[in-house]
Structure 1
Amino acid sequence: MMKKYTIICFIGILCQSFGQWMPVEIPTKSSFRALKSLGQEIWAGGTQGTFGHSSDAGKTWRFMQIPGAEKLDFRDLVILNKQDVLLMSAGPSEEGKASIWHTLDAGENWKIVFEKKEPGFFFDCMQWDINQQEGWLLADPIQQKLTLFQIRNNIFTQIDTANSPLLQPKEAFFAASGSSLSMQGDHLLLTGGGGTLARIYQKHNPKSAWNYTETNIPTGEAKGYFSIGSKNKKTFWAVGGDYRKLNESSIPILTTQDGGKSWQKLNDNPSFYMEKVIWAKPYWIVSGPSQSAAYHEKKKQWKNLGPSSYHNIIQVGEEIWGIGAKGQLGKISLSSIDKLFLAEK
């Protein structure tokens, strides 16, 4: 059974100025980075073994703490169906923090279905293909080799990456917004930082080899690309920065229009660290723990969405939901963003 708290949050209608987030009060100060949706189902995961769930597109929420997981930080998740969810704990395996938790009853009960206890493992993010009913779990490199698990029927199989490219010394992936790994069908893209230069790793289909594009963009400790977002199978954005410098743009946004064969720097970049990027037609929306902004692709124009504290954002219907540190939850409507772009300068 669950313990500590089960809170239902009813969200009222509040006045909202153009382009401003509407905060939602929740009864926990846990910090959240995991946020995903499936239809009207929204799930969140955070520190102190806490998760949040809404089954009605955010109209009501409940937050719970999983018994036995109080020391864990759930950094990512996958939604299999309305009742069936996996939560990923990020942290050193030697400290008992590399584990995957599973519920079959919409969060009433949980059990560990996969964990690594030998030293060296640190889980970063998960992706799930609802059509193929399979997914991937990405972990930090071990001995500079990709560490990746395929998920099928709750069985986690480590992929042989002996012939994959050797990563740079200190290069790794970020357990930030669950989007350092992007999956479009069989096409996988990975991005991170910590090495000398930024790289984007790709595997185009099950039979193809891993390859990478090396940029001339310097990265380093705490600095690199934190998120890959996709508009379609050909168009991607990669965003990031230095998480120690929240109001600086230390690396450019990278874009591709040919499925990752070539990458270009976006000429105009917001001046803040970006932890998540999503496509929400007709906008690219980026967010970090200090600010967020929307880019109108046809107009080639940015609009700041105001101060925000959201590590992660997702689109649910006509709304963008964000979640972050110290129990920060909020939403902004696409119609509000539309009005921001239509408003006089």
Structure 2
Amino acid sequence: MTSKGKTRRMVSVGLCAAAVAAVLAAPAQAAQQRSGNAAGGDAAGRDAAGGDAAGSKGPSWSLKNTGADVRFRGLAAVSRKVAWVAGSKGTVLRTADGGRSWRNVSPPGAGELEFRDVEAFDSRRAVVLAIGEGEASRVFRTDDGGASWTESFRNTDPKAFYDCLTFFDSRHGLAMSDPVDGAYRILSTGDGGKSWKVLPNAGMPAALPGEAAFAASGQCLVSSGPKDVWLATGGGATARVLHSADRGLNWTVAESTIPAGDPARGVFALAFRDRAHGIAVGGDYRGDQASPLAGAVSSDGGRNWQQSKTPPPAYRSGVAWLPHSRSGALAVGPTGTDLTLDGGRSWRTVDTGSFDTVDCTPDFGCWASGEKGRVARLEF
């Protein structure tokens, strides 16, 4: 590509990112104006199927009919057209036409398994993780769009419970288990998930009493770049974020500002747009419990965390940076979707539909999934 062509492409991407941020902000700003004029009005907006309450024109979640009623906590967005979801009852679905149709590509005989994470490289290659104690934790891989699957890992340690997957590229990836004998256990693959090995735990800090990760959205283990990976925790006295700069061999640990001290509280999801800038969301997943400090940000690779000045108003289980944006991100949970335009320091609710996880792609394909077969794509 010529330098002039590169410049045009960079300008185009920058303008698109700016436009996305601007129109995403519009519904929330209009809702704020409306709430100031009409006491008791719904400032957050209607459910995804109905658009925003203020009637302003802007992007909103467009629900896609999956034909399923299971809970999809696993989501892998490949593009605006291609996405994979994985959930309860061993269910895996794939779309290649932007959600107009979905193909059930569930692994045969997996009906008793709970899929909580899926990592997809394209429309044909994907890896899914089933969670649970002992042999309930398994990894499956497909190279043909889900027409066939190979079970590449089955946990045989009754003390292990795997929660999340992440991949650095199409070959190198990790999976993590809750603490075994006082330390988190890490699996590694160098062939795209065809085979796995347990990494030595000499470089893993000791887990806190009662500490674990949350298999709520496939985002308790996330990576950025070729070697950096972060692990989110809760349940212990403090909610922590562990970081490795060498693909899981050695780890450092930092306390987040999100409250823990209870098995239901902690950091549920992380998103890093590069090896320095990260967002953490979480809270207390119990619906009758408040989550007043559900967001935090880091600008130094997770070594330090600062509490969001205006955090999400409730528990959030998923988070994703907006494409080509240095400051825009979405957070989702059972009570709604929140938007930040300042890198996670302040959030505003833009939708009240229920979702568990969210994922975005460079071609501005943002997807969300959750309970009762709900899957949506952000439409502009």
- TM-score category of the 2 structures, normalised to the smaller one: 0.7 to 0.9
Q: Percent identity?
A: 25
- Structure 1 residue 26 and structure 2 residue 71: aligned? no
Does the CA-based 8 Å contact 2:258-2:295 persist in structure 1? no
What are structure 1's unaligned runs of at least 5 residues? 1-13, 336-345
Q: What residue is the counterpart of 1:245 in the other structure?
A: 287
Is the partner of 1:197 in helix, strand or coil?
Answer: coil
Partner of residue 330 from structure 2, selected from 269, 285, 297: 285
CA contact (8 A) 1:124 1:173 kept: yes
In 2, the alpha carbon distance for the partners of 1:58 and 1:320 equals 12
Call closer, same or farther: CA 1:215–1:269 in 2, change over 3 Å: closer
* Structure 1 residue 73 displacement after superposition: 1.1
Q: Which residue of 2 aligns with 1:332?
A: 378
Measure the CA separation in 1 of the matches of 2:314 and 2:274: 26
CA contact (8 A) 1:188 1:203 kept: yes
1:294 aligns with 2:339: yes
Q: 2: distance between equivalents of 1:189 and 1:310?
A: 23
Specify the alignment match of 1:176 in structure 2: 216
- Residue equivalent to 1:197: 238
Cα offset, 1:189, TM superposition:
1.2
Partner of 2:153: 114
Which structure has greater helix proportion?
2
What does the per-residue CA deviation read over 1:30-88, in whole Å, with 9 as the maximum and x for residues that have no partner? 11100012244311101111111012343432224432101111101122443222111
Aligned to 2:187: 149
Could you tell me whether the CA contact under 8 Å between 2:117 and 2:129 is conserved in 1? yes
Do structure 1's residue 97 and structure 2's residue 124 form an aligned pair?
A: no
Moved more, 38-47 or 230-239: 38-47
Q: 3-state SS of the aligned residue for 2:356? A: strand
TM (norm. structure 2) is 0.78
Structure 1 residues 259 and 305, CA gap change in structure 2 (3 angstroms): same
Whether 1:312 aligns to 2:357 is yes
**Is the CA contact 1:246–1:273 (under 8 Å) kept in the aligned structure 2?**
no
CA distance in 2, matches of 1:259, 1:134: 20
Measure, in 2, the Cα distance between the counterparts of 1:248 and 1:126: 29
Partner of 1:73: 114
Q: CA deviation at 1:177?
A: 0.9
Specify every segment of 5 or more residues in structure 2 that has no aligned partner in the other structure, as ranges.
1-48, 53-57
Quickly say closer, same or farther: Cα 1:187–1:263, change in 2 above 3 A: same
Match for residue 236 of structure 1?
A: 278
Contact kept in structure 1, 2:307 and 2:345, CA below 8 Å: no
Matched, 1:123 2:162: yes
Equivalent of residue 212 in structure 1, options 250, 253, 259: 253
CA 1:123–1:117 in structure 2 vs 1: closer, same or farther (change >3 Å)? Answer: same
Letter of the 2:164 partner, please give it: C
* Number of equivalenced pairs: 318
Distance 1:246 1:26, change over 3 A: farther
What is residue 258 of structure 1 aligned with on the other side?
300
Q: Is the 8 A contact 2:256 2:304 kept in 1?
A: no
Change (3 A) 1:81 1:306: closer
Once residues 303 and 217 of structure 1 are traced to their aligned partners in structure 2, the CA distance between those partners, rounded to angstroms, is 18
Cα distance in 2 for residues equivalent to 1:261 and 1:212: 7
Q: Describe the superposition over 1:231-267 as per-residue Cα deviations: whole angstroms up to 9, x where unpaired.
A: 2221101110111137732434111112223221111
| Aligned Cα root-mean-square deviation (Å) | 2.3
1:275 aligns with 2:309: no
Distance 1:298 1:128, change over 3 A: closer
Equivalent residue number for residue 127 of structure 2: 86
Partner of 2:88: 47
Does structure 1 retain, via aligned residues, the 8 Å contact 2:308–2:345?
Answer: no
Answer yes or no: is the 8 Å Cα contact 1:31–1:325 preserved in 2.
yes
d(CA) in 2 for partners of 1:176 and 1:35?
11
Distance 1:212 1:287, change over 3 A: same
Conserved? CA contact 2:366–2:377, under 8 Å: yes
Compared CA separation, residues 208 and 69, structure 1 to 2 (3 A): closer
Distance 1:71 1:119, change over 3 A: same
Q: Is the 8 A contact 1:148 1:159 kept in 2?
A: yes
Structure 1 pair 304/246, CA: closer, same or farther in 2 (3 Å)?
A: farther
- Higher percent of residues as strand: 1
Q: Match for 2:67: what amino acid?
A: P
Choose 61-70 or 305-314, whichever is displaced more.
61-70
With over 3 angstroms needed to count, the CA separation of the structure-2 counterparts of 1:254 and 1:216, relative to structure 1, is closer
Equivalent residue letter for 2:291: S
Q: Which residue of the partner structure matches residue 322 of structure 1?
A: 368
Q: Which amino acid aligns with 2:377?
A: K
- CA displacement, residues 93-131 of structure 1 (integer Å, 9 cap, x when unaligned): 1xx311111222111122311101331121111111226
1:4 paired residue number? none
